[in-house]
Amino acid sequence: MSHFSKGPGDAAGPATDLILGIVIVLFSLLLLFWIIPAQVNDAGAFGLPPSLAPRALAWLMAGLGAVLIAGNLQHGGDDPLAGKLTWQDTGHLALCILAVVLMLIVMGVVGDVIGRPYSGFWIGAPLGLIAFTLIHTRAPLWAYAFNALAAPAVIYAGFWWGLELPLP
């Protein structure tokens, strides 16, 4: 019995986790060097910059993705790509990336239209969280409502009042 994760459908092996780790690292680098600098304005920040939390989370993603890669290379045997990567796994990953990209686009467009950069969060985040719920589960209606209303409010309050950081 393998210690690697098993996805729904066909059994997934080391290649699934290895490829997922590579995608996580690449996406976190994209966040660090392109998306966060383009979306977050640190100019005029007193104390901690607004990009601190997004950058810290992106570095955490990169580190955990690297751990996933290293673990699969270490335990993958002679051929770390010998496991199965199903079309379902690939489609699921593509949908998750697409949801993040669309959520960021909606945040930027709404913020520009309204003229307040943080206002885009209140439209983009609920839509993104609903999309993630749809992608990952067939949840009951209350889960969609929670993800659309309560989760963004808790995130926003945590950043503004808990960390005293403006949420980009």
Q: What is the pTM of this model?
A: 0.53
- pLDDT tens string, the chain, 168 residues long: the values are 344 444 444 444 556 777 888 888 998 998 889 888 877 777 666 667 777 778 888 899 999 888 888 877 766 555 544 556 667 777 777 888 888 888 878 887 887 788 776 777 777 878 888 887 788 777 777 878 887 888 778 877 777 777 766 665
Q: Is 11 helix (H, G, I), strand (E, B) or coil?
A: coil
Residue 108 CA neighbour count, 13 Å, CB half: 13
Q: Name the CA dihedral angle for 58, 60, 64, 65, rounded to a multiple of 10 degrees.
A: 10
